[in-house]
Amino acid sequence: MTRAAEPSLPDRARPRRSGIPLHAALFHLTAAVVAALFLAPIVLVVLASLRPASEAGAPPLPPWPTTGLSTESYGRLEAFGDGLLHYAGNSLFVALGTTILTILVSVLAGYGFSRFRFPMKKLAFVLILSTIMIPFQSILTPLFLILAKLGLQNTLTGLILLYATLQLPFSVFMMRNAFDAVPKEIEEAARVDGVTGLRMLVFVMGPLILPGIVSVGLFAFLNAWNEFLAALVLLTDQSRYTLPVLMNAVRSGRYGAVDWGAVQAGVTVMMIPCLLLFLTLQRFYIRGLTAGAVK
């Protein structure tokens, strides 16, 4: 409490009426509107899933419960076929399998394309990339026939192979870029330190390309988790259904009526792993891990 400090006190105590500048207010307003736009569907789906059974057959507008909350929709979902957990398990198996296979292959391929010299490397890379341009729906029939020949029709393993194949061109591209971003000298320093082959990939490169691996894995997981058409075509046995196919089956309720409640409950359940993944992994692909390596 020295004298010199006193003059600042009334200044600080004065209410800051004109404190928030206009552009800051506009910024916050815009951000709030955009956030609301993105959050609205999620909120509406969750609310709709909580409509009681009496409302289930009613038209979907308004989407929120009007006569009290109820979890009956989840009950009906659970009662379908082998139970919700079984189908969630199917989906999880397919999504995780696709993720692991995609990461394994794309990391190895990306490493090869980034660091090794081999004949027709450029051509091979362009060919891989060009398959992104082919809509996979157009090759669904031949893919189905190939899987049938391999005895993999109507199996989750077949679905994993299919998803991983579709996921790979983009993932290989991503991983090659991730490896390209790692300075060569780090690898050379590791070679001097006696690191070769797979240990180089795991101990030296691995941590540096982690953001790339996370991105590739996340995309693979989400795409496999949400994919509908191929699963619908490939899976005929009801006990093998993945969640999107289950949704389709649940939708067509008795006597042609659409069970909107169960569908919304299913969508809510399907959202959970996606949200969890994004929230836990987002920092990985934001953070630059190579900071401080060179220069």
Pick 39 or 188: Cβ nearer another protein = 188
CB atoms closer than 10 angstroms to residue 50: 21
Read off the tokens for 62: 């308004």
CA distances from 4 to 7, 9, 14, 208 (A): 7, 10, 18, 53
DSSP 147: H
Footprint on this chain of another protein (rule: CB under 8 A): 183, 185-186, 188-196, 199, 203-204, 207-208, 289-295
Minimum distance of another protein from residue 293's CB (angstroms)? 4
When the beta carbons of 39 and 293 are compared against another protein, the nearer one is: 293
**Smallest separation (angstroms) from another protein to the CB of 205:** 10
What's the sign of the alpha-carbon dihedral 89, 93, 99, 104?
positive
Q: How far is the CB of 118 from another protein (least distance, A)?
A: 15
Spatial separation of the C-alpha atoms in residues 113 and 172, rounded to whole Å:
9
Contact 240, 90 (CB under 8 A): yes
Rounded to the nearest whole angstrom, what is the least distance from the CB of residue 295 to another protein in the complex? 6
Q: How far apart are CA 138 and CA 144, in angstroms?
A: 11
Nearer to another protein, 139 or 189 (CB): 189
CB of 210 to another protein, least distance (A): 8
- Which residue, 204 or 233, is less far from another protein as judged by CB? 204
When the beta carbons of 28 and 199 are compared against another protein, the nearer one is 199
**Of the two residues 28 and 184, which places its CB atom closer to another protein in the complex?**
184
Rounded to 10 deg, the angle between the 22-49 and 260-286 helix axes is 140
CB of 195 to another protein, least distance (A): 5
How many beta carbons lie within 10 A of that of residue 20, not counting itself? Answer: 10
CB atoms within 10 A of CB 157: 13
